[in-house]
């Protein structure tokens, strides 16, 4: 039982909403267009969670291997730092999660063709090479845009394609607000770790810009999510009920205040959990966005 708790901590199920929200958004958009196969949706949900789990495990493994995860750092599951599991176990766990995705990917390939196989392979490779060298997306400052596309447009469009076997420009646009907020989660993580990461030679937008200027990127990502919904509602691309997302504005102000305070050189007790606050906003926004579309449908 104790080992199970260690593995549960290692895969970090509390961050699954970052992948579950876009999956459900793609599903409700397909339903809105008259398509929904529960079995195919279940497969995409399981596959998405498995890829997310593998990414978390690979991330822990390579960050620990490269010396980034220490007793004084934030962000990881800390199972390696605290010696609860070995690096070899974490690496094998990531490989097992990927292997479990393979039969799902092959089935979807038979049902929907090579597009889904390509998207699945892209997700797996991006998850592995997010911290694995020689690519190491995180260490080269392209982690935020990679996550924006992979857990925003690509994931939403992929789920929609599984259901409908076609693409839709409207679905791409509807995926952008969720993409902005999932990118904001990662960006808040980078912003928090500016001092720690820069000491290891990592280069990313937050480090290059510095705290004062870097805060504007975070503000842009968060405000863009709301502005995109408003524009899409006004233009008739999505239903008016999608404006339910505006109810989350008070929750958006909380991480923004933390960013603003720290950008002025002051300390904030909530900076260590800025990524948690942003992830909570992503979940609340995503759920209301999905519910709004569902209300408009039914």
The predicted model gives 206-214 an average pLDDT of: 90
Residue 111: both structure tokens together: 């049902």
Whether 1 has a pLDDT exceeding 70, the answer reads no
CA nearest neighbour of 245 among 232, 263, 258, 254: 232
Q: Where are the alpha helices (DSSP H) in the chain?
A: 2-11, 17-32, 38-65, 87-112, 114-128, 143-149, 155-164, 169-192, 194-198, 205-234, 249-263, 274-297
User: How many alpha carbons lie under 13 Å from residue 101 in its C-beta half-sphere?
Assistant: 26
Whether 66 has a pLDDT exceeding 90, the answer reads no
Between 68 and 29, name the one with better pLDDT: 29
- Most distant pair of Cα atoms in the chain: their distance: 56
Q: What one-character DSSP code corresponds to residue 73?
A: -
Range of the domain at 148: 2-297
The CA distances from residue 276 to 109, 180, 202, 257, in Å, are 35, 16, 22, 14
For residue 134, cis peptide bond before it (omega within 30 degrees of 0): yes
Grade residue 2 by pLDDT with cuts at 50, 70 and 90.
low
pLDDT digit string, tens, across residues 232-289: 999 999 999 999 999 999 999 999 999 999 998 888 899 999 999 999 999 999 999 9
pLDDT digit string, tens, across residues 270-283: 999 999 999 999 99
pLDDT digit string, tens, across residues 213-222: 999 999 999 9
Q: Is the dihedral of CA 122, 124, 126, 128 positive or negative?
A: negative
pLDDT digit string, tens, across residues 87-135: 999 999 999 999 999 999 999 999 999 988 888 899 999 999 999 988 9
- Phi and psi, residue 168, nearest 5°: -145, 125
* Cα–Cα distance, 7 to 57 (Å, whole number): 10
Q: Give the contacts of 167 (CB within 8 A, at least 6 positions apart).
A: 157, 160, 161
Count: domains in the chain: 1
Share the mean pLDDT of the chain: 93
Grade residue 224 by pLDDT with cuts at 50, 70 and 90.
very high
Q: Is the dihedral of CA 123, 126, 127, 128 positive or negative?
A: positive
**In this predicted structure, what is the pLDDT of residue 37?**
97
* Cα–Cα distance, 186 to 178 (Å, whole number): 13
**In this predicted structure, what is the pLDDT of residue 199?**
81
């Amino acid at each position: 039982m104790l080992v199970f708790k260690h593995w549960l901590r290692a895969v970090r199920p509390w961050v699954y909403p970052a992948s579950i929200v876009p999956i459900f958004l793609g599903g409700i958009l397909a339903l809105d267009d008259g398509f929904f196969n529960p079995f195919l949706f279940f497969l995409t949900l399981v596959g998405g969670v498995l890829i997310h789990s593998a990414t978390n495990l690979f991330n822990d493994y390579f960050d620990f291997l490269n010396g980034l995860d220490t007793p004084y750092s934030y962000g990881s599951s800390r199972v390696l730092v605290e010696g609860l599991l070995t690096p070899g176990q974490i690496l094998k766990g990531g490989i097992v999660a990927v292997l479990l995705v393979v039969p799902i990917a092959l089935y979807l390939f038979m049902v929907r063709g090579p597009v889904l196989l390509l998207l699945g392979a892209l997700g797996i490779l991006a998850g592995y090479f997010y911290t694995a060298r020689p690519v190491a997306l995180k260490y080269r400052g392209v982690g935020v845009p990679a996550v924006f596309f992979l857990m925003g447009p690509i994931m939403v469009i992929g789920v929609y394609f599984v259901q409908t076997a076609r693409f839709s420009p409207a679905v791409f646009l509807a995926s952008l607000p969720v993409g902005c907020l999932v990118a904001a989660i990662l960006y808040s993580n980078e912003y928090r770790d500016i001092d720690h990461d820069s000491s290891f030679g990592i280069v990313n937008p937050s480090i290059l810009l510095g705290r004062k200027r870097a805060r504007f990127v975070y503000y842009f990502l968060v405000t863009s999510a709301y502005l995109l919904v408003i524009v899409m509602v006004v233009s008739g691309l999505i239903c008016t009920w999608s404006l339910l997302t505006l109810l989350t504005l008070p929750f958006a102000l909380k991480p923004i205040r933390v960013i603003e305070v720290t950008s002025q050189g002051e300390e904030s007790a909530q900076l260590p959990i800025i990524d948690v606050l942003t992830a909570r906003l992503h979940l609340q926004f995503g759920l209301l966005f999905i519910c709004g579309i569902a209300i408009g449908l039914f």
